[in-house]
Structure 1
Amino acid sequence: MVAVLSPYTNAEAAKPSKTFVNDDDRFMALRDAAMHDDAAQADEYAAALAQYTIPSYVDYYRLKTRLRTASADEFKNFLSKYEGSAIADRLRNDWLLLLGQRGEWDTFDVQYPQFVVADDTQVKCYALLSKATKQQKVATEARALLTAPRDYGAGCYSLVTYLSASGQFSDNDLWAQMRIAAENGAQPLAQRLARLLEIGDKRITQVFEKPALMLKKAPESDKVAHELYILALGRQAKADPQDAADTLSRFSAKFSESERAQAWAQIALQAALKLQPEALGYWQRTEGATLSLEGYQWRVRTALREGDWKLVKSAIAAMPASLKSDPAWVYWLARALMTEGKTEEAQVMFASIGDQLQFYGQLALEERGQKIGVPLTIKPVTAEELAPIQANPGLQRALKFYAMNLRFEGTREWNWELRKMSERQHIAAAEFARQNELLDRMVNTSDRTKGELDFSQRYPTPFNDSMYKTTQALGLDMAWVYGLIRQESRFVMKAKSNVGASGLMQIMPATARYVAKKIGLGNFLPEQVNDVDTNIALGTNYLNMVLTDLGGSQALASAAYNAGPGRPRAWRASLTRPVEGAIFAETIPFSETRGYVKNVLSNATYYAALFEKKPQSLKARLGVVVPKGMSATDSDLP
């Protein structure tokens, strides 16, 4: 047989032609092309979308594929054409990153003040770098900004390099950054810093990957060797805090007083994260050490777990102002003052956060002798108030994106419009979200108000009949279940997490199969997890299982629902004494689970107030968490 030569290349022949049902399909293809920097495809799809209902995004995705080759005029024309829009601000973010990378500071300085969202750490680093190139002093601002290596990128690396070269950052600043890198496992950052300190990559690799090898012998006598040894102690403590502590004790005389404090701080943080009671003793040796933001907070958390109120007070006092003003630390400092009999001073602090509608605001309210209730119902939204909200182009774009399951774009548009609104307009926008069955937007929008409060928006109760029947049958607290759903999915029925959890109660596939089998749900299929009634049945039954397993503690069971039942069992087992539930919640070592438990139980307290029509106690809901095998007595209660 004679082969017939095709007029197309093999690559072209292998590439299937796309067919589109409508312009929405074509727009999705344009977006995908932009995500893959495919300029040719993006141009083709965009040309066919000349009459699309959201032209700004068509133009944005087309331009996005060639950001590096686009002229300044193209950026300016887009920004002028779509001035004041969310997508224009997004493009300005993209352009500022390019301008910073290229060092085009004149244009950067014109555009940066117009960047509204201003939430990009790299752009902030470039802004400081621009100032520094003009001989402005920015070291203090840089130290406050450079705390989370995962957000650094090229902009922050360039800032650190410039500040070091220009003398604004000393070697001590670089070593402080090195400790942050080691604490966060950010080896690439550590290697960049090492070059500035003229340290070879091999030494950094050993610190990160083989710290135990370095610690087998005493440190050498020079400053660099001491600093690297301290880093290695922190890295070894991630695996075995006791071994690191023994090593430091053995060679303690080799270090100066300030070096010893710094070394103990590295070990103390890792021991604290493992909830080891020995961490308290380590922290007590850190006087004068420079801590990371996590270090400052875990020193307090360790003191709370071990009941050392004197250290709670001094550790909060030593925090930087950015942390000290957080409601959590305002509350715990006030509690520490109460143990000293400084009731009047403590009550002033409780009052300063008692009007905040969150976990620590609720606890502060109870410390002032009040219970947690529901505010008076506000005046309903009128048709006249709703009309401009319904006609708002940005919110209409958001609805369009949500209908296409483009939640990221939809939320960007929605939140952009909220920036321009009064509290009353927020309430109207939340009502608009309710009318369009966007309960997550309703909750999040209504949550922003401080003066006008509508708890029917903030704490909705969809699927009430199904929820009531299921929770009644199990003897489960319905307020708690609603509190958990509000945190898990914000009532998005088809919500799916990045780890595969699905539906209202965000159930993992393996958990769904396990519970379905346990409760005798015959012929269960994975896709059934998004059916509302099935999701509620699976989620509530699983919640009831972990609640029973963990002794009826909602704090422990909420943690188990988020992190798996094994972890809260281990966290409880590490306790040396019964602790109030608020202390247990604050000292959960996973930041996501820590916030989750606090939010779930705060939500549940408000739901209970709504259902029972009377004030509630969050402290009673939190209860006391008792180590397995121990019993709580009245003396254990605060």
Structure 2
Amino acid sequence: MTLAVLLTGSAGAADQPRLEAQRDAFRKALLKAEIADWEGVRPHLELLKDYPLRPDLSAAWLRSSLGPDTDPEVRRFLDRYPDLSFSGDLRYRWTLSLAKRRAWNSFLDVYDTHYRDLDDTELKCLALRARIATGAGQEAAESGVDIWMSPFSQPEECDPLFEYLEEKGLLDADRRRQRIRLALESGQLRLARYLARPLDDSDRRVIDRWASMRSDPGRELSQKSSFGNSDDDRELVSYGFRRLARLDPPRADELWNRYEDFDLPAATRLDIERDIALAHARRFLPGARRLIEHQASRDSDSIVAQWGVRLALRELDWQGALTALEGLPAEESGRTIWIYWRARCLDGVGDTAAAEPIFADLAGDRDYYGFLAADRLGRPYDFGHRSTPPDEELLTIIGARPDVVRARELFMTGLYGRGRTEWRSLLERLTEEQRAQASILAARWGWHSQAIITASGNGLIDDLELRFPTPWRASFEALSRKAALEPSFAYGIARSESLFMSDVASRAGAVGLMQLMPATGKQTARAAGIAYRGTTTLTDPESNITLGTTYLGRMLARFDGNPVLAAAAYNAGPHRVSSWLPAERQLPADVWVDSVPFRETRRYVRRVLESDTVFDWRMDGEHRPLSQRMPPVRPDSETQGN
């Protein structure tokens, strides 16, 4: 690819050295602006005077310098640059600063314009406090009670609001009891005890009973005579059984039989029995299939019906699985997963003539089930790749747009999250044709996550070059081979984990291209022989690929070279995967995948294997059948690492 093409949308090859110098200066200046050191910013301003991100330095400085003296300047900046990603952060922090200083009228001006419809409890409480302070107490009181009536503790910014409600007599004993019940049902015992402080001893005894039930539901429920015919006791028994079903399903089933004559609503009974049956199913406990089939006979719940199919498949009872498939709700039975399993079951009972047309319909799809269906028929895959023709004239026009230039520079200077925010925003201002070309532009910059998302969302699902790129290819190939992995498998993991975003962090705390938890990264770094410096190591692409491929290689070795189990272990952890292995006989890998208890892991493994297949083809134009990557799953006695 020529330098001119790589620079599409920038100042051009001749100006590239100056642009690189501006990027470097911006990074240095931003560090100073973020600590309110404008004198440290000043030496860079001449070089940055025409740089697209120059306003962001002012935003960063203002954000770190909030106070009465800068309020006018903040307001002017936000009026002039309302849509910058830095502006959103600046506005939010300024709003909190106004509230902290009790500049309530100014706070409400900003809140009502930008945040009134935002689901942000902290801001809502501050807004209600502002309305009380400005004379709108009645409206605030009604909304404040709704916020207070939560099963969970609320932000400390809400405390003055709740004190106001208390003073006005709006948090009476009945409302306290309602909130205590919500807290107890959510396991918030500390909050329940706090709320009960003004109440009498009988209310505290109720909390003590719930605490005992939460601590040891088996012990409490075994004392059936201690529960009477009251709504409170019925709710406590219901809570206890649903909790025990999660903790000890066989014990819950045993005790439940003693409560046949206990007065519970029919719907509550059905819910408890569903919980007990599903808990058995998800742990593959003895009697699980009997419980699920009994539940399915009188319960229209779709999850119960699905587990009826999964348990029959796990026993390789093809006829039983066909029967269970008939019990799926109509809206569920039409999904690809169950269409595939209907064909597999028909094939399993020897009705090949009925199975083959179904497999043939699926085999045209470029996905996990389509690949497996093609393998069943012995057909080659039709990847259906169609490259998107670049329109160089349109690319130049799009690339010169100020909003596109800004997004590009945010990406190029390492402000990836802000770049993604502005990229998503600018796409709304482009036509469909322009968005399609924008995906090519992002790919040329090496911004693969946005190229994938933009292409996928704008009708370019057949452009596999855009949607399945191979960045850091030399590293993926060398490090995968070192870890005894196929590079396509490592690529499948990386794409599924992060869409090749090197900075992204999950809610659970996993970081980087291959989404490693810090503890796993630190442990794996020792095995890989590299220095570990926390997040810095995890967000460095080369280091993350090293750690990710090393860890994935260890999972593959632990599970006897089975990519299906290695992918599942990468997602859910090796100990869980060990507990999901069959106890007595091996299972076909597709059966094992779709009987994994966690929906997230089932989807993850299918996505990784589908991507692995596409990457295998992308890398050299050849591919191995997916079924060859899916050896049978053997019992735990035959699998390494238990």
The TM tier, using the shorter chain, reads 0.5 to 0.7
Cα gap change, 1:42 to 1:490, in 2 (>3 Å): farther
- 8 A Cα contact 1:372 1:605, kept in partner: no
Specify which of 8, 19, 22 is matched with residue 37 of structure 2: 19
Letter in 2 for 1:284: E
Cα gap change, 1:434 to 1:378, in 2 (>3 Å): closer
Match of 1:94 in 2: 118
Letter in 1 for 2:591: I
Cα gap change, 1:563 to 1:433, in 2 (>3 Å): same
Matched, 1:247 2:255: yes
Match of 1:112 in 2: none
Counterpart CA distance in 1 for 2:543 and 2:280 is: 42
- 8 A Cα contact 2:192 2:207, kept in partner: no
Specify which of 611, 615, 622 is matched with residue 607 of structure 1: 615
Letter in 2 for 1:448: G
SS in 2 for 1:624: coil
Q: Deviations over 1:138-186 (max 9, x none)?
A: xxxxxxxxxxx99xxxxxxxxxxxxxxxxxxxxxxxxxxx99x97x979
- 8 A Cα contact 2:503 2:512, kept in partner: yes
Matched, 1:212 2:218: yes
Cα gap change, 1:426 to 1:544, in 2 (>3 Å): same
- 1:380-391, aligned counterparts within 5 Å? 380-391=389-400
- 1:122-141, aligned counterparts within 5 Å? none
- 8 A Cα contact 1:212 1:236, kept in partner: yes
Counterpart CA distance in 2 for 1:353 and 1:422 is: 33
Counterpart CA distance in 2 for 1:241 and 1:525 is: 43
Specify which of 579, 585, 591 is matched with residue 587 of structure 2: 579
TM-score, scaled relative to structure 1:
0.66
Specify which of 282, 289, 293 is matched with residue 280 of structure 1: 289
- 8 A Cα contact 1:350 1:365, kept in partner: yes
Specify which of 537, 541, 557 is matched with residue 548 of structure 1: 557
- 1:194-273, aligned counterparts within 5 Å? 208-218=214-224, 229-252=237-260, 262-273=271-282
SS in 1 for 2:609: helix
Cα gap change, 1:543 to 1:515, in 2 (>3 Å): same
Counterpart CA distance in 2 for 1:32 and 1:355 is: 56
In structure 2, the gaps of 5 or more residues are 1-33, 42-53, 126-142, 144-150, 153-180, 194-205
TM-score, scaled relative to structure 2:
0.66
RMSD: 5.0
Cα gap change, 1:261 to 1:306, in 2 (>3 Å): farther
Give how far 1:222 is off. Answer: 7.2
Give how far 1:62 is off. Answer: 6.9
Counterpart CA distance in 1 for 2:207 and 2:401 is: 56
- 1:465-544, aligned counterparts within 5 Å? 465-519=474-528, 521=529, 526=534, 527-544=536-553
Letter in 2 for 1:49: F
Cα gap change, 1:202 to 1:387, in 2 (>3 Å): farther
How many residue pairs align between the two structures? 523
- 8 A Cα contact 2:562 2:630, kept in partner: yes
- 8 A Cα contact 1:423 1:452, kept in partner: no
Match of 2:316 in 1: 307
- 1:400-439, aligned counterparts within 5 Å? 401-402=410-411, 407-418=416-427, 425-439=434-448
Counterpart CA distance in 2 for 1:432 and 1:302 is: 48
Counterpart CA distance in 1 for 2:479 and 2:296 is: 54
Q: Percent identity?
A: 27
Give how far 1:455 is off. Answer: 1.1
Match of 1:137 in 2: none
SS in 2 for 1:374: coil
- 8 A Cα contact 1:558 1:600, kept in partner: yes
SS in 2 for 1:507: coil
Cα gap change, 1:409 to 1:469, in 2 (>3 Å): closer
SS in 2 for 1:272: helix
Counterpart CA distance in 2 for 1:42 and 1:311 is: 72
Counterpart CA distance in 2 for 1:395 and 1:189 is: 49
- 8 A Cα contact 1:39 1:62, kept in partner: no
Query: More relative contact order in 1 or in 2 (CA 8 Å, sep 6+)?
Result: 2
SS in 2 for 1:629: helix
Matched, 1:453 2:485: no
In structure 1, the gaps of 5 or more residues are 1-15, 79-89, 102-125, 127-148, 151-177, 192-199, 632-638
Give how far 1:269 is off. Answer: 1.7
Counterpart CA distance in 2 for 1:416 and 1:360 is: 35
Give how far 1:382 is off. Answer: 2.0
Counterpart CA distance in 1 for 2:374 and 2:430 is: 29
Q: Deviations over 1:316-361 (max 9, x none)?
A: 5545555444433343344345445666765666566655543334
- 8 A Cα contact 2:293 2:308, kept in partner: no
Q: Deviations over 1:50-75 (max 9, x none)?
A: 68655566776676566997899979
Letter in 1 for 2:613: T
Counterpart CA distance in 1 for 2:498 and 2:467 is: 14
Q: Rg: which structure is higher? A: 2
